[in-house]
Amino acid sequence: MGIQISPSMLSSDFANLEAEAARIAGADWLHMDVMDNHFVPNLTLGAPVIEALAKVAAQPIDAHLMIADPDRWAPQFVEAGAGSVTFHVEAAAAPVRLAREIRAQGARASMALKPGTAIEPYEDLLPELDMILIMTVEPGFGGQKFLDICLPKIERARDLIDKHGGDIWLQVDGGVSADTIERCAAAGADVFVAGSAVFGADDPDAMISTLRGLAEGHTP
């Protein structure tokens, strides 16, 4: 598995998501930020929007659930058409059971960690996961500045993944841009969520190619 770019639709025009997805044909995934105004102080979209977009977009959906009680709600996002579902370990009551349920329904199971959450206590969960998401900003809002203090955690996550083996992707989300993606790739990340960097560019699809090239040039 090579470098993958998953643009955050949070920075796109919500009035026409189908057209916005078409503008980024080179994207590997469409990253959908689901916020409930409980786990994070913002409210965005839910399963019906993902279901509608999944029917018309060429790219698969990467659903990032920044919500309370993901144990209850995450399966609905698989049913809505998401190919990858990420839950926050800080909010999950039974992360192993939840990851297994997501996988059993046919989607990739991913675990997200906020900047202040260490990866080491969750090492035993790795066999249950298809991806780990390291947040490089505090979740809740797009356009935030990248937190360099998260780079060592990306490196530690990569070491744990390599230690256990298996096809586990390592995603970073928050402040990813042409100025920061090389450091993330050098630390071991291989899936990159970029919102404002992509949709704020004059040519969003060209920016995806630029980001991919920068990351590929700094992969360990």
**Active site positions, annotated:** 33, 173
Q: Long-range contacts made by residues 114-119, C-beta under 8 angstroms, separation at least 24?
A: 114/88, 114/90, 114/138, 114/139, 115/147, 115/149, 115/150, 115/153, 117/89, 117/90, 118/153, 119/153, 119/156, 119/157, 119/160
Give the span between the Cα atoms of 202 and 213, in whole angstroms: 18
Give the span between the Cα atoms of 14 and 80, in whole angstroms: 18
